């Protein structure tokens, strides 16, 4: 079971956002929400505006958490880069 942190963080290296969660067996799990996910899936995001990206992620938190859960279920790891298919689990 994943318990997500309260806040998102800007990721200047990947030009996206990060959401951390705690999982009972693996401990801390990092979910990377890259710039392509922000632009193509969440219909926003700007690689040079970290605070705006965090605001976008906050707005779409339910979708992002659902995608994180899906991604973790099929690719469990301590670090997971979200993919577009994680947002549409019926197509993966």
- The number of angstroms, rounded, from the C-alpha of 8 to the middle of its chain's C-alpha atoms is 9
* SS3 call for 13: coil
How do residues 8-42 score in pLDDT, each as one tens digit? Answer: 998 766 678 999 999 999 999 999 999 889 999 99
Per-residue confidence (pLDDT) for residue 51, from 0 to 100: 85
Q: What is the pLDDT of residue 92?
A: 47
d(C-alpha 83, C-alpha 70), whole Å: 10
Say which range, 3-7, 16-20, 33-37, 46-50, has the weakest mean pLDDT. 46-50
* Region 49-53 average pLDDT: 82
Tell me the sheet residues that pair with 11: 16
- Answer CATH for 2-83 from 3.40.630.10, 3.30.160.140, 3.50.50.60, 3.30.470.20: 3.30.160.140
Domain boundary assignment for the chain: 2-83
Distance of CA 47 to the CA centre of its chain: 15
For residues 75 and 77, give the distance between their C-alpha atoms in angstroms, rounded to a whole number.
6
Predicted confidence band of residue 3 (pLDDT cuts 50, 70, 90): very high
């Amino acid at each position: 079971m994943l318990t997500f942190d309260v806040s998102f963080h800007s990721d200047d290296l990947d030009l996206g956002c990060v959401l951390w969660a705690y999982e009972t067996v693996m401990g801390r799990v990092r979910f990377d929400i890259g710039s392509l996910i922000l632009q193509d899936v969440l219909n926003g995001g700007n690689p040079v505006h970290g605070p705006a990206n965090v605001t976008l992620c906050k707005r779409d938190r339910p979708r992002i958490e659902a995608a994180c859960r899906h991604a973790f279920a099929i690719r469990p790891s301590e670090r997971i880069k979200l993919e577009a298919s994680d947002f549409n689990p019926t197509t993966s």
